[in-house]
Chain A
Amino acid sequence: MTKRITIDPITRLEGHGKIEIFLDDRGNVARAYFQVPELRGFEKFAEGRMAEEMPRITPKICGVCPTAHHMASTKAVDDLFKVEPPRTARLIRELVYNAFMFEDHALHFYFLGGPDFVVGPQAPKAERNILGVIAKVGLETGAKVIDMRKRVRNIIITMGGRVIHPVLGLPGGVSRGVTKENREEFAQTAKDAVEFARFSLNLFGDVVLKNKGYVDTITGDVYKHRTYYMGLVDAQNKVNFYDGDIRVVDPNGKQFAKFPARDYLKHISEHVEPWSYAKFPFLKAVGWKGFVDGEKSGIYRVAPLARLNASDGLATPKAQTEHDRLYDVLGGKPAHNTLAYHWARLVEMLYAAERMVELVKDPDIMGAHIRTLPTQTPSEGIGVVEAPRGTLIHHFKSDARGIITQANLIVATVNNAPAICMSVERAAKGLIKDGKVSDGLLNMIEMAFRAYDPCFACTTHALPGRMPLEVEIKGPDGTLIERLSQFIG
């Protein structure tokens, strides 16, 4: 008799996610499907719009990572209008971008992913959330988190008008410059952000790395996949969030490909399944082999751990030290441990803070020349950034008036969609035996995809950061056998 387990709803970026787990006759997992039940069609309705409006339209894909879409579109329209932004504009963009990466990563650790570790995966479910984190680390730390996030988000508000859907980017530059007062404020914020990131890494060290049980879970087989990894790197192969070439390493860490964003179509394709509105990207040169890992499968991963795996390190000193420590503990590069995404996220947070300090220090950030007006006939443009959740590519074609004729978007979380399917399936296979579904299982399954900071849940960026999870076990005729549900931190 086949049983199925439905996990529905999982809150997510664009509506809902659903997981269907099918059990075999013995009650073990035969197959798990992760489904995306929504589509909004941004690529289609971008057609006919004025290209310069793309940085204002595409952020509506995601109100949690709007800055990523805004920046990818802004860079794509630079390219489309064939205009190079002045150095000052570039510095401002990168500053806003790193501020965004910082606050977004911080939120995930404290409000969403962190509670599983800080409070504990086996803690009472009512405590496995931000309130539980505060109870554990103290109110003072809680206030610090809220204050830091607010101040860093304020950099985005100052320059972009708004933090939900900022508007600073225009083809060829930005809409406003940095004043002396802004710069002083940003400098202090950036400096404090560095300290805050170090504090967070210390907290992770104390709470997680000193706990053998956690380390065993992180390094265990249930949360492990050998895949390809992708991320943006600079000329020295160091991680860069704002710009660079896309680098892919194979499961052994060997460089597999390195290419400018404009060549993405030579390297990435998207597979379609009839049971999901989401598409499944894969490496063209390897091919789509289904939901399997290893060298022979074109599935790759993106986002924090993948970025570190795909790079030769980080360009700022403190973050580089933390990078080295991470790989020492995990036994070398690349690391395939999905739960180590949490750790990599904090290392990146430190990099973002250090990078903010550098950018604010640069005297050119105060420059008056913030835009270059385009003079050439627009035609086609591709923009890439590293979103918190992975490589994000915007690709537009236009007519001579700058009217979009085609838009193609490879969205960060979507890159991880095949891997998320595998991770959920593997966790389910490791945890569901003989048809027995325990209460603790639910959080363990949840943890399998939460590690990716699923922006398929914009979800994950909210207070107090619980995700609902409901598991229904149904007989083949659809009758409900058992229903389990819980709060997830």
Chain B
Amino acid sequence: MAKPKVAIYWNASCGGCEEAFVDLAEDILKVVKAVDIVLWPVAMDFKRTDVEALKDGELAVAFLNGAVRTSEQEDWAKLLRRKAVLVVAFGSCAHLGGVPGLANLHDRKSIFESSYGSLPSVDNTAGTVPQRTTRVPEGELELPEFYDTVYALDQVIDVDYYLPGCAPPPNLIMEAITAILSGKLPPKGSVLAPAKSLCDTCPRNETKPEKLEIARIKRPHETMLDPEKCFLAEGVICTGPATRSGCGERCINANMPCRGCFGPTEAVRDQGAKFLSALASIIATEDPAEMEKVAESIPDTTGLFYMYSLPSSLLTRKKTATK
């Protein structure tokens, strides 16, 4: 019997999700034994034409990492959707938009103006910006379109499953692959990670008081971080209550608070809003003026509460007036 065909591809990503596959170490050999990887640009030969030549649905599964920011990435996502029975949004960027999704606080114009204009090292008095097509003496050069907006994968194509994390840890990757190979899959649309919140599995959970109350927010650099106590109990923002578990508490192990890369817990649409409401409930004051003061001590709630999930949130992006 022919082995199932698998594709691994990246869009607007950093390569960390590719490293996550590599960090399977010995297990990657088991994977290679069980499946035929027919596309993995980071590690194997591939041609777009090879993928195009596959029958629709010939791929058992396509793992796509990275957000979608350019026309080329959208094309690839659509091509792989056609060819694959299952599409797994792999990693925070495909799942939620990821850190590069914070670019939705801006648009193409402002990014170009900064990147090719106002930044202090740029030498560009001619005002050159990258063009879709450029006439050079020898011919014409093309670039893909850079969109105004960063999209999570399911905003561009239909997605079957989500593997969360920046990057997903090896054990969850292996579990997902095993589930796919054995056909023992949860309902479509599931996130392939525990349903609990990070707090539920956090080794510091015991130090979290029954009723969490904080009077003042401290930014991580403003205070010595106790290596054993609940960050929130210490007044340090940790998005654990609004974040899905399954990461292995790896940032906590380094004595740093969670920033939410695993996305919202089950049945929560908007991770940032969820955290905001969790935070509001633990601030030890009813006085609106005091409340305001506490809020002011977090000068960038968007960046902090939506560090990984802005494109997939209810906010999606900064809204601009129609011109």
Chain A positions within 8 Å of B, measured between CB atoms, are 2, 4, 9, 11, 13-16, 20, 22, 30-31, 33, 35, 37-45, 48-50, 52-53, 56-57, 59-64, 66, 77, 81, 146, 150, 157, 159-168, 170-172, 175-176, 264-265, 268-277, 279, 281, 284, 288, 371, 373-374, 395, 401-403, 406, 408, 410, 457-459, 461-466, 468, 470, 476, 483, 485-488
Q: How far is the CB of A14 from chain B (nearest CB, A)?
A: 7
Contact B138 A172 (CB under 8 A): no
Chain A residues with CB under 8 Å of B138's CB are: 2, 4, 22, 30-31
- Give the contacting residue for B256; candidates A43, A62, A163, A175; CB below 8 A: A175
Do residues A40 and B12 form an inter-chain contact, with CB atoms below 8 A? yes
Q: Distance in Å from the Cβ of A48 to the closest Cβ of chain B?
A: 6
- Is residue B278 within 8 Å, beta carbon to beta carbon, of the partner chain? no
Partner of A13, one of B15, B48, B105: B15
Please indicate the chain B residues that have their CB under 8 angstroms from the CB of A15 in the complex. Answer: 10-13, 66, 70, 72-73
Known: A63-B19, A461-B19. A274 touches B300 (CB 8 A): no
**A64 touching B141 by the CB < 8 A rule?**
no
B227 in contact with A164 (CB, 8 Å): no
Interchain CB contact (< 8 A) of A63 among B43, B124, B136, B167: B167
A466 touches B141 (CB 8 A): no
A176 to B252 alpha-carbon distance, docked (Å)? 11
16 cross-chain CB contacts under 8 A: A20-B141, A22-B139, A31-B137, A37-B144, A39-B115, A44-B110, A44-B111, A49-B303, A50-B299, A163-B23, A171-B221, A275-B134, A459-B18, A466-B43, A466-B44, A468-B47
Q: Which residues of A contact B102 (CB under 8 A)?
A: 45, 49, 57
With contacts A39-B115, A272-B122, A277-B130 taken as known, whether A146 is within 8 angstroms of B18 at the C-beta atoms is no
Task: Choose from A62, A288, A468 the contact partner of B46 (Cβ within 8 Å).
Answer: A468
Residues of A within 8 A of B5 (CB): none
Do the beta carbons of B123 and A38 come within 8 Å of each other?
A: no
Residues on the A chain within 8 Å of B46, using CB: 468
A44–chain B nearest beta-carbon distance, Å: 5
Inter-subunit contact B121/A43 (CB<8 Å): no
**B163 close to A (CB within 8 Å):** no
| A48 x B105 contact (CB < 8 A) | yes
Chain B contacts for A373, CB-based, 8 A: 221-224
Q: How far is the CA of A268 from the CA of B255 in the complex (A)?
A: 37
Cβ distance B284 to chain A, nearest Cβ, rounded Å: 23
With a cutoff of 8 Å between Cβ atoms, the chain A residues found around residue B11 in the complex are 15
Whether A166 pairs with B254 at a CB distance below 8 angstroms is: yes
A48 touches B303 (CB 8 A): yes
Contact A62 B123 (CB under 8 A): no
**What is the minimal beta-carbon distance from A206 to any residue of chain B, in angstroms?**
27
Q: A106 to chain B: closest CB distance in Å?
A: 13
**Residue from the list B17, B72, B304 in contact with A16, Cβ < 8 A:** B72
CA–CA, A161 and B13, complex, Å: 21
Q: Shortest distance in angstroms between B157's beta carbon and chain A's nearest beta carbon?
A: 17
Distance in Å: Cβ of A157 to nearest Cβ of chain B: 8
Residues of chain A within 8 A (CB-CB) of B119 are 43, 270, 406, 408
The answer to whether B255 and A175 touch across the interface, beta carbons within 8 angstroms, is yes
Chain B residues within 8 Å of A395, by CB? 120
Nearest CB to that of A455 among chain B residues? B15
Bound complex: CA A280 to CA B225 (Å): 41
| Among A171, A265, A272, A461, residue most surrounded by chain B Cβ atoms (within 10 Å) | A272
Q: How far is the CB of B19 from chain A (nearest CB, A)?
A: 5
- Pick the residue among A44, A61, A458 that contacts B18 (CB under 8 A): A458
Give the 6 A-B residue pairs with the shortest CB-CB distance, closest first.
A63-B16, A458-B15, A161-B254, A22-B138, A269-B123, A41-B111
